[in-house]
Amino acid sequence: MAKQQTTRPQDQPAPCPVCKGSGEVSRTVEVGRKRRTVGKQTGFCLNCLGSGEAPTD
């Protein structure tokens, strides 16, 4: 296992762990009771509200 560098400047906001700082997440689109997957779409990340930054509070 490679050691991960976690150092980052103090004034830089941490990237959102859900969307990895992109502000968007891809989700599968499912229809019907059988949950048939019809595709994927990109949506607004609800964890950071699209900012790409991890919420601090």
Binding site for Zn ion (CB under 5 A): 16, 18-19, 45, 47-48
Q: Smallest distance from the beta carbon of 6 to Zn ion, in angstroms?
A: 19
DSSP assigned state of 34: T
Q: Smallest distance from the beta carbon of 35 to Zn ion, in angstroms?
A: 25
Asked if residue 34 lies in contact with residue 12, where contact means CB atoms within 8 angstroms, the answer is: no
Distance CA 28, CA 6 (A): 31
Asked if residue 14 lies in contact with residue 57, where contact means CB atoms within 8 angstroms, the answer is: no
Q: Smallest distance from the beta carbon of 8 to Zn ion, in angstroms?
A: 17
Q: Which residues are bridge partners to 36 per DSSP?
A: 31
Residue number with CB closer to Zn ion (13 or 47): 47
Residue number with CB closer to Zn ion (21 or 36): 21
